[in-house]
Structure 1
Amino acid sequence: MSYLQRFSSDDLERIVEEGMVYMCACPAQVAKEIRLLRELIAYQEACLNGPENASEVHRCIAEAAREAHARMEQCLDQVLTLEGWDRATLHMPEGLRQRRDAALEDGFS
């Protein structure tokens, strides 16, 4: 069973790294949840192959995870657009970086 992925695993990793470096955790949190949903989907699909497993249970969980995954990718896409991230490099916009730098300077004053 397959599902659409707007963001590659590398894309998600870049978003998490940018969020952590520039202290803007919201997009990074969404990216982390997408990764967890992918793990859940893979796990459920593996369970579907087990002959002694209750396939309806695993199908139900996998379908719900795929729906949540699609919605969270849509959300991340919208957040990156709203914040003005560079979509080619997945770098955070300079304005958010400057806001982080100002917050750090205020903390040391």
Structure 2
Amino acid sequence: MKIVIIILMLMPPNVLAIGTSYTFIIKVTPKRIHVISPTKANKDVTIIIKNESLSSIYGKVIEEGGSYAKFVAIPKNGHKTVTISGFKSGKNYYFVPLSPPYQELKLKVGGDPYEIPPEI
């Protein structure tokens, strides 16, 4: 038992992080944006944005129609968590990277993982 506790204490914190079924995970790399979408949506949905690119990322999470907007600034090799309270399944939500500019990313619930190449 002591060995298990010691091993858990030596693991980096991100190894112990587990996404829930209500979590979008967006990983931004220099060449692509990878998205893992939740299997289903709840009224509170979390979006974890990981920046693995070579520069800081500035962006926003918006609702179709513009009633919700959350701006994020993520340093290189950093991450940010955004929670949408009152997530509505009938509405479309987007992550829009402003700098560096990528394509607008539609957050789709219940799909396979997908990736978006940068806009040229």
* Same fold, TM-score > 0.5, yes or no: no
Larger radius of gyration: 1
Higher helix share: 1
- Structure 2 length normalisation: TM-score? 0.24
Higher strand share: 2
